[in-house]
């Protein structure tokens, strides 16, 4: 597993989302490294971490992440999961519990991506199982085309993508289409709604008010479902507030991590 390990102090683990890589956290890591030890892995099949021989799934990514935590002997971690990164963290907690975590940050994610007759807080546009299967077929048929059409929807409609970010987004086309489709299937199969009440560590749900991916009601559901959760909404952001409002986002992460370090919980 490729990863960066920068700064000193309490460990902050930044777990990226589907089809991107640790480079999308570069600015946030730079802002945090004066106060914290920041760990940025590339998940299996992303960035500089190869797909490998094991069947690729959310469970495998969670096992990989747990192995990294063990190898680095990390404790009192503040873990941030952006999009699919949150799903990986939920799966890791399901496997290993929460003893090594001091706090959890969920960035614009739902505990259940697919919508059905009983659940409408998954991905926007009413993504259901049939639509998801069609998307997987599109990924396998022409991944570069799918990636280029998908990536702009990560941000608010008014966000201006700079050249550096555009380069990073273009690199999504280099991902293995079969790995991306398999991970999409695994992510959309996951359902962590019932497990949320067991997450008793301080948790901060960070939501982009202009998100084209998940609605504000999704983040409210998360806060209502976890015993020690708070919610922060970023008014000008879409699915990636750490990129769209970097200063405010880094400040919120810093304040939350310092509270967990001192034993405090979420602000009411």
First to last CA, the chain: 38
Write the DSSP assignment of 187-205 as a string of letters: HHH---GGGGGG--S-EEE
> For the chain, where are the alpha helices, taking DSSP H only?
26-32, 58-71, 84-96, 129-141, 143-150, 163-170, 177-189, 216-225, 241-244, 246-261
Q: pLDDT by residue for the chain (268 residues), tens digit each?
A: 999 999 999 999 999 999 999 999 999 999 999 999 999 999 999 999 999 998 999 999 999 999 999 999 999 999 999 999 999 999 999 999 999 999 999 999 999 999 999 999 999 989 999 999 999 999 999 999 999 999 999 999 999 999 999 999 999 999 999 999 999 999 999 999 999 999 999 999 999 999 999 999 999 999 999 999 999 999 999 999 999 999 999 999 999 999 997 765 554 4
pTM equals 0.97
CA max distance for the chain: 51
Q: Does domain 3-261 have CATH number 3.40.50.1820?
A: yes
Residue linked to tokens 């880094």: 250
Say if CB 205 and CB 232 are below 8 A apart: yes
Residues ≥6 apart with Cβ < 8 Å to 216: 207, 209, 233
The domains of the chain are located at 3-261
């Amino acid at each position: 597993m490729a990863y960066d390990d920068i700064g000193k102090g309490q460990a902050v683990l930044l777990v990226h989302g589907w089809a991107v890589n640790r480079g999308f956290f570069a600015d946030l890591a730079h802002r945090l490294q004066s106060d914290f030890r920041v760990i940025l892995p590339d998940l299996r099949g992303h960035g500089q971490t190869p797909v490998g021989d094991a069947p690729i799934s959310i469970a495998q990514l969670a096992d990989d992440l747990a192995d990294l935590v063990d190898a680095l002997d990390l404790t009192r971690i503040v873990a941030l999961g952006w999009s699919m990164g949150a799903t990986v963290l939920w799966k890791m907690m399901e496997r290993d519990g929460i003893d090594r975590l001091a706090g959890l940050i969920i960035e614009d994610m739902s505990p259940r991506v697919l919508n059905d007759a009983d659940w409408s807080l998954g991905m926007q546009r009413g993504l259901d199982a049939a639509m998801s299967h069609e998307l997987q077929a599109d990924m396998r048929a022409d991944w570069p085309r799918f990636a280029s059409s998908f990536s702009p929807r990560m941000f608010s409609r008014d966000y201006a993508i700079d050249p550096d970010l555009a380069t990073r987004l273009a690199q999504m086309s280099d991902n293995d289409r079969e790995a991306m489709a398999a991970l999409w299937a695994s992510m959309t199969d996951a359902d962590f709604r019932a497990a949320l009440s067991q997450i008793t560590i301080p948790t901060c749900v960070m939501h982009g008010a202009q998100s084209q991916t998940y609605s504000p009601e999704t983040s409210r559901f998360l806060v209502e479902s976890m015993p020690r959760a708070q919610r922060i909404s970023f008014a000008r952001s879409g699915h990636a507030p750490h990129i769209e409002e970097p200063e405010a986002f880094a400040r919120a992460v810093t304040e939350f991590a310092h509270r967990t370090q001192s034993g405090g919980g979420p602000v009411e």
